[in-house]
């Protein structure tokens, strides 16, 4: 069985079709985490998965707080570093939407070309929260949260 490559986490987020019988006007929804790839990588070790998710949640919240402080101090370099850190953490857990949002923020902070960094940081925060909720629900036996 092939092991997912680290770069595969930075690919486009997965989308799923609405359930059969759903409103035909329903749109495809993005799944925030590729659980199949994550579990294949972890060889379905649920205890290790929980530990990684808890660490991701803790370090991610720290990175988001650092991004907020850096934005308040107009320090684009610190925004770039914290976004880079969160991008890697999200990518390693196949949280593709959060990783992509972190990469956009990192690149915008690096370019220094009047990008709307605060708006991008809020987008990243939302994607991070969605990924953590999805991951936590996946091992708690809860129904998966709405991917929208």
**Residue 33 falls inside a structural domain:** no
Q: How many domains does the chain have?
A: 1
Please report whether residue 35 resides in a domain: no
> Residue 80 is part of a domain; what is its CATH number?
1.20.120
- Residue 9 has a pLDDT of 31
Residue bearing tokens 């070309």: 113
Average pLDDT over residues 76-83: 96
What pLDDT does residue 139 have?
78
Contact 17, 2 (CB under 8 A): no
Tens of pLDDT, residues 111-140:
976 569 999 999 999 999 999 999 999 876
Q: Which two tokens stand for residue 59?
A: 């370090």
| Mean pLDDT, rounded, for 60-66 | 97
Range of the domain at 124: 46-138
pLDDT of residue 114: 59
pLDDT number for residue 140: 67
pLDDT band at residue 29 using 50, 70 and 90 as cut-offs? low
Q: Would you call 88 exposed, middle or buried from its count of C-beta atoms within 10 A (0-12, 13-18, 19+)?
A: middle
Place of tokens 């939407």: 97
Q: Residue 97: pLDDT above 80?
A: yes
The span from the CA of 61 to the CA of 6, in Å, is 23
Higher pLDDT, residue 142 or 80: 80
Indicate whether 67 belongs to any domain. Answer: yes
Does 30 fall in a domain? Answer: no
C-alpha to C-alpha distances, 42 to 37, 45, 56, 73, 129, nearest whole angstrom: 9, 6, 15, 39, 22
φ/ψ of residue 17, rounded to 5:
-75, 150
């Amino acid at each position: 069985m092939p092991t997912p490559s680290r770069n595969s986490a930075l690919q486009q987020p997965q989308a799923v079709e609405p359930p059969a019988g759903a409103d035909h006007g329903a749109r495809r929804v993005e799944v925030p985490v590729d659980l199949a790839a994550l579990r294949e990588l972890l060889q379905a070790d649920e205890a290790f998965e929980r530990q990684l998710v808890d660490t991701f949640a803790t370090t991610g919240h720290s990175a988001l707080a650092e991004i907020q402080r850096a934005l308040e101090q107009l320090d684009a370099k610190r925004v770039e570093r914290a976004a880079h850190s969160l991008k890697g953490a999200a990518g390693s857990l196949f949280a593709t939407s959060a990783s992509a949002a972190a990469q956009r923020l990192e690149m915008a902070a690096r370019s220094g070309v009047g990008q709307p960094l605060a708006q991008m940081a809020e987008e990243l925060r939302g994607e991070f929260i969605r990924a953590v909720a999805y991951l936590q629900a996946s091992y708690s036996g809860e129904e998966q949260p709405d991917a929208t």
